[in-house]
Each structure stands twice: as structure tokens, then as C-alpha cells.
Structure 1
Amino acid sequence: MLRKSPSLSSSRFEAVDAVRGLAMVWMTAFHFCFDLNHFGYWRQDFYRDPFWTWQRTLILSLFLFSAGVGQAVAVAQGQSWPRFWRRWVQVAGCALLVTLGSWLMYPQSFIYFGVLHGIALMLIIARLTAHWGAWLWLLGAVAIAIKFIAVYALDSGAYVQFVDALNGPMLNWLGLITRKPITEDYVPLLPWLGVMWWGVAAGSWLSGPGAGYLSLKLPVAFKPLARIGRWSLSYYVLHQPVMIGALMAIGWHVK
């Protein structure tokens, strides 16, 4: 039985929403550039150029970290399992929509385990481990390290019998791969669970000794980010169709 933390109310915290909103705005700019490349307006290598690959890593890290913080705060506020599952169904349902939409646009490289698919799995783990507190800093580091240690071992040829199975579609969602699958978005359990665990650990601290930071007044300039972060799931699902539709309309108009 979860109990509310005496240091928290059941209200939302603008600071958490603003961080999530920042990740969404940064992601939108990244996806807009990606779409420009897709439609031939601007040529960039989003799959190999470090300028773009590192941006993707940082955006995703910020998004997953803030999701972990949000989950820890929700648990501290006494969020019930039924309410958790209602939100989880929304995330999982949107993940299926992303799969369908990407299959229509990229049939050879559609998204079958992207950011929403990964978050749906990680949220369950985060919920079950949210009470582990500071131990999650260590577990997060281990989750990230395991990814690179395992890949090094698999690349060495010591476990060649497992390589094909781990690279295959049935198990590559674990992240223990030696080659990236052909898909437009790929967010496996490892190492990204480590980032969410760090977010949960930070959120646990903010829900206890650091609770005062959650109540700090957000500067007016950052309030739009908080509003975006408050509706992050809807924003995530809609932003790409809107931008792609706009670029397609521009293309038809030019023709």
C-alpha cells in the first residue's frame, strides 16, 4: 500500500514539466531537421554524423531522466496502481500508433521498439523499484555498464552462439546487440533503463530531502515549456504528423 509523502502534495510540479518540455522542444527541432532531410530540402547524415547522433542521445537521456523523476514523484504522492495502469495503457497505445504510422511511411524500417515502446517497459520496472532510493544510482550505472561490457564480450567472439539470437527481432529489445537493427527509432532496455533509474533516484531525493526544489517558482520565460511538458504524450504523438503534413503540403504547393 503506497502512502503519500508528507513533504509533497498531489499537485504537479512546473520544474519537472519544464525539463520534460525542454526535451520535447529539442526533439521537435531535431525531427524537423530530420524531416527536411527526408524530403530532400536539406541533406544531412542523421545515422552517422556525431553532431546528430549525439543530439539524439542527449535528447533521449533528458526525456527518460525526466520520466524517471516524474514516476518517483508520482509514487511519493501516493499514485495508485489503477491510475498507473491507465496512464501506461495510453503510452502503450501511442506506441502502437507510432508503429503503424512508421510502417506506412517507412515499411522497410518501421519502428517496433522505439522511445514509447521502451518507456512502456521501463515504466513498469521503474514503478516496481521506485522505493529502492539511492541504490538506483548504482543500479543505473550497472545497467549502462552491462550494455558496453556485453557488447565487448559478444564482439570478442567468446559467445558467438548467442550473437545471432541477441541481434534478432525477438531479443534485440534488450539492447545486447552487435549490430543496430534496421529501424527508424530504437530505444532498447539497456542501457536506457539506467538513465531512467537515475531519474527515479533523483526524483526520490526530490520527493524527500530535496522537496523544496520542486516547489521553487518557475521563471515566466519557462512556463511555456512546463505547459508542453504537461501534455508530453499528446505532443509527442502529434508533432511529427503535423510537421510531415506541413512539409508535404509545401512540396505539393511548390510543384
Structure 2
Amino acid sequence: MRTRYFTLDALRGFALINMVAYHFCYDLRYLYGLPLRFMDERSGFCWQQMICWTFILVSGASASLSRRPARRGIAVLGCGMLLTVVTFLIMPGQRIVFGVLHLLGCAMLLTAGFLPLLQRLPPAAGAAGSFLLFLGTRWISSGFLFGARIFEPGTVSTDLFAPLGIYGPGFFSADYFPVVPWYFLFLTGYFLFGALRAGGAGDLLSRKIPLLSAVK
């Protein structure tokens, strides 16, 4: 019998509740013009990033438990592509070219492909290394890699590399989470969960958290 890690359910529920609340405020602010100024400020950006970080880390942790990561990855990526088509047709001004669903689908497929290698790495070292790679590539879209400028953003003339965090001046996506750097955060969740289980935190991760664990 497989162990159910209810803490992951709770974190996913927490992120879902926040996502609904965030998009409710987003629609009120940007579609209906209500003066919710905090959505324009750093607080709104931090709220959005907290939600996405939680989803990505939890998805990475869940990938370590999945029996068919490639099949799930194809399904999630398909949903992302459908969302791209719908937003282009219905509201092109808020089109989503490579959003969080695209990222998660690609991340699951990459993890399925690299699984033999990932399983050989010590979880704690993998988590630390993945997070360092995430920090080092965090500003690739601005031309920085590990703090060093490698290109000027204005010199890029194509959007072909947008899934990797590099795009031209006319690129726009209302929701943008390229594989680089975000796949490294996904891997951080993958390895961190493995490290917690290896460290004897399985019982703690298996405890139910009322209400949050029920939100799926």
C-alpha cells in the first residue's frame, strides 16, 4: 500500500486557494478597473510568485511519487497548449505563450527522461545543487547567468528560445515560466522531498491538515 503524503495535498490546497484569490483580485483590478493598488506593487508580485513557487515545488515533489511522469507531462503540456490557443483567439492581449502549465508539462517530461540519472544523485546534494542552478539562472531573460552578463536583451531578434528564457523585444506572455530557470526549482522540490523522506520525515509528511488537505 502506497503512503499518502497529506502535507503535499495541504500545500497544493494552500496554493489553489491563493491562486483563486489572486486571480479574483487580478480581474477586479485589470479587467474592471477597481483601485486595488497593491496588485500593481511589489506585494502583488510577491503574492503571485509565492503561489507559483509553491505549485512548482509541490509538483516537483509529486513527480518523485508518480508512476507515469511522462504520461502526466504530456497531459499537462497539452492543457497548456490548449490554453495558448484559447487565449490567442479570445483575448490576445492576455495571451499565454509559455505559462506555468507549459513549464510543469515540460518538467515532468524532462524528469521522466532523466530519471535514471536523478535517482543516482544524493537527494540533499541534488536539492542544494538544483536550487543554486535556479538562483544562478534566475535572470537569464535579462541576459545574466550566475551574475555575469552574457548578452544584451535588445540584441535578441527571435522568440524561438522563449521556452528557455531568451526572447526578442516583441515577446509577450501574460503568464511566463520558461524551462530555464524554473525547471531547476521543480528539481529542488523533487530532491528536497526525497531528502525529507530519507531523513525520517515521512510520518510528518503523512499527517493530515484539515481543510487544506481536502482542497484539490
The equivalent position to 1:175 in structure 2, one of 151, 157, 165, is 165
Which structure shows the higher helix fraction?
1
Q: Give, in angstroms, the shift of residue 55 of structure 1.
A: 1.1
Structure 2: stretches of 5+ with no match in the other structure: none
Please state whether the residue corresponding to 2:96 is helix, strand or coil: coil
**Compared CA separation, residues 214 and 49, structure 1 to 2 (3 A):** same
Q: Give, in angstroms, the shift of residue 177 of structure 1.
A: 5.4
Q: Give, in angstroms, the shift of residue 65 of structure 1.
A: 0.5
Structure 2 Cα separation of the partners of residues 203 and 158 of structure 1? 33
Partner of 2:198: 208
Please state whether the residue corresponding to 2:2 is helix, strand or coil: coil
Q: Normalized against structure 2, the TM-score is what?
A: 0.81
Structure 2 Cα separation of the partners of residues 176 and 147 of structure 1? 12
Q: Normalized against structure 1, the TM-score is what?
A: 0.70
The equivalent position to 1:117 in structure 2, one of 80, 83, 102, is 102
Structure 2 Cα separation of the partners of residues 160 and 90 of structure 1? 36
Partner of 1:192: 182
Paired residues of 1:147 and 1:191 also in contact (CA < 8 A): yes
Structure 2 Cα separation of the partners of residues 49 and 108 of structure 1? 21
Partner of 1:108: 93
Q: Give, in angstroms, the shift of residue 19 of structure 1.
A: 0.5
Computed over aligned residues only, the root mean square deviation of the Cα atoms, in angstroms, reads 3.0
Q: Which structure is larger by alpha-carbon Rg, 1 or 2?
A: 1
Partner of 2:42: 50
Query: Given residue 212 of structure 2, which amino acid in structure 1 is its aligned partner?
Result: L
The equivalent position to 2:213 in structure 1, one of 217, 226, 238, is 226
Paired residues of 2:143 and 2:152 also in contact (CA < 8 A): no
Please state whether the residue corresponding to 1:56 is helix, strand or coil: helix
Query: Given residue 65 of structure 1, which amino acid in structure 2 is its aligned partner?
Result: L
Identity level (%) = 23
Q: Give, in angstroms, the shift of residue 163 of structure 1.
A: 3.7
**Compared CA separation, residues 33 and 61, structure 1 to 2 (3 A):** same
Paired residues of 2:63 and 2:69 also in contact (CA < 8 A): no
Q: Give, in angstroms, the shift of residue 41 of structure 1.
A: 4.9
Paired residues of 1:18 and 1:226 also in contact (CA < 8 A): yes
Q: Give, in angstroms, the shift of residue 182 of structure 1.
A: 1.6
Partner of 1:148: 139
Paired residues of 2:144 and 2:150 also in contact (CA < 8 A): no
